[in-house]
Amino acid sequence: MTVASAPGKVYLFGEHAVVYGEPAVPCAIERRARVTAEERGDGRLRVDADDLSLDGFTVTYSGGPEDRPDVDVPTGLVEAAMGYVSGAIEQAREAAAAPETGFDLTIESDIPLGAGLGSSAAVVVAAIDAATRELGVDLAPEEIADRAFRVEYEVQDGQAARADTFCSAMGGAVRVQDEDKRRLEGIPNLPFVVGYDGGAGDTGELVSGVRTLREEYGFAADTVSAIGDLVREGEAALEAGDVAEVGRLMDFNHGLLSALGVSSRSLDAMVWAARDADALGAKLTGAGGGGCIVALDETEGARTALRYTPGCEEAFRAELDREGVRAE
- Among candidates 4, 27, 5, which has minimal Cα distance to 283? 27
Catalytic residue status for 164: yes
- Among candidates 192, 31, 53, which has minimal Cα distance to 112? 53
Which one from 164, 197, 297, 321 is the annotated catalytic residue? Answer: 164
C-alpha 130/C-alpha 126 separation (Å) is: 6
Following CA atoms 124, 2, 324, 11 in sequence, which dihedral angle do they give, to the nearest 10 degrees? Answer: 30
Q: What are the residue numbers of the active site?
A: 164
